[in-house]
Homo-oligomer: A and B are copies of this chain.
């Protein structure tokens, strides 16, 4: 066993090369809908640089992120990752589809496809199984169906929803995750799209950049809701991974929640600790897109202010446009913190060890 620190990427997007690749896993009744309309979710926020890295196109010219063998070469081996966690792509959007039967069917088909077509390719591939959060009953069944697969390390859902994630309607999902020792992860990008409301309290941003800038506000709302609704008292084993939602807002949220709790805790008698304590014990944040202050030390300072050193997980977001380079993203971080973020924290969270 090497003494080298573990290197784990907690957010790598695997795509489906062709919609036809899902057909063997999908009941025939849904084939024409899947081929014709896919996730059915429009995207009014257009990025002029695209959402996929053009230098990550596989050798056969297919979509970036859609070829497991090319991903091994282009990402896993290039940087020497011990593990990467596959988090899917637009499949996550299906939680916002109006037809929950369709969404459930495609999500299950994707999970089977993921296990057969990706997790068999390389031992370094681990994966987040996808659920449809709009049908918690089916989501629980799906978690029970495949959650014990040895390479499934997490359950993932999109961060946009009609109800905040502390709401009681989701608790069966958390119970299943806690029972099976699977963290629940959220991923941004669906805010304001499909069957949800506006992405802010005051309506819709006008353009992609403006929309992308404020996606973390939805994360703040979810973390706040999870804590205030007592989810972590009800499910003390539950871990939540906030993927791709930023880090530096944590100071503000912790301080504001703790201050208000001191005055208003009568209204949440189920809480027994300060809100920031629940966040520190249960919430993990991935790094990409890592905030880039003019003075890089400032981000380290923020993490230390929050005492969040063990909550931060490295992610590259490969092969997306705003990919963070594993050698560069944390170059100014002190060695211990860097090692924790680059692998140790994720190894502990997901129960991963050097093979």
Please tell me if A183 contacts chain B, counting CB pairs below 8 Å. Answer: no
Please tell me if A253 contacts chain B, counting CB pairs below 8 Å. Answer: yes
Contact partners of A128 in chain B: CB under 8 A: none
Most chain B Cβ neighbours within 10 Å, of A49, A167, A222, A249: A249
- CB-based contact B292/A259 at 8 Å: yes
Contact partners of A229 in chain B: CB under 8 A: 206, 210
Contact of A263 among B162, B255, B295, B321 (CB under 8 A): B321
- CB-based contact A224/B253 at 8 Å: no
Min C-beta distance of A226 to chain B, whole Å: 10
Please tell me if A20 contacts chain B, counting CB pairs below 8 Å. Answer: no
Interface members, chain A 291-334 (any B CB < 8 Å): 291-293, 295, 298-299, 301-302, 305, 321-322
Contact partners of A150 in chain B: CB under 8 A: none
- CB-based contact B253/A203 at 8 Å: no
Please tell me if A156 contacts chain B, counting CB pairs below 8 Å. Answer: no
Please tell me if A166 contacts chain B, counting CB pairs below 8 Å. Answer: yes
We find that the number of chain A residues with CB closer than 8 angstroms to chain B is 74
Please tell me if A228 contacts chain B, counting CB pairs below 8 Å. Answer: yes
- CB-based contact A268/B161 at 8 Å: no
Contact partners of A204 in chain B: CB under 8 A: 163-164
Stretch of A80-88, A115-123, A190-198, A235-243 contacting B (4+ beta carbons < 8 Å): A190-198
Min C-beta distance of A195 to chain B, whole Å: 12
- CB-based contact A201/B217 at 8 Å: yes
Q: Give 1 or 0 for each of A36-76: 1 = CB within 8 Å of chain B CB.
A: 00000000000111000000000000000000000000000
Contact of A222 among B162, B197, B202, B260 (CB under 8 A): B202
- CB-based contact A161/B293 at 8 Å: no
| C-alpha spacing A264/B249, complex, angstroms | 22
Min C-beta distance of A333 to chain B, whole Å: 15
Closest 3 CB pairs of A and B: A248-B252, A200-B221, A217-B217
